[in-house]
Structure 1
Amino acid sequence: MKTVLNNIKAFMRDEEGLTVVEYVIGAALLVAALTAVFGSLKTDLAEKLTSTISSIGK
């Protein structure tokens, strides 16, 4: 029984798993931010290309 308690205490002190979770959360936030930025840029770029092509065709 003492070994089980010691293993549980050691597991609770181990922060390696927490670091992995922090990196995963950080990566997910970065992907969400990049998706939002490039999503809005795509719309702006499409509008500018359309207006440029329209003005060339005149």
Structure 2
Amino acid sequence: VAMGKTSRKMKFEARKVIVPAGVAGQPSAADVLAEPIVVCRASGTCVVPASCQRNKPPAPNN
């Protein structure tokens, strides 16, 4: 989403793609949903020291 000198801002999304099938005697049986359901959204920031970065961010255009 955004990139700073040593930080990277990211967005995440978790989707549910299966549901329990409810088959007697088979507790791990599952059915695949026709469409995934978004169950959680989050954002985060990862910081990597400049000395450890492999790819340097581009210089800002001023």
| TM-score, with length taken from structure 1 | 0.24
More helix by share: 1
Tell which structure's C-alpha radius of gyration is larger. Answer: 1
| TM-score, with length taken from structure 2 | 0.23
More strand by share: 2
Select the structure with the greater relative contact order (CA < 8 A; seq sep ≥ 6): 2
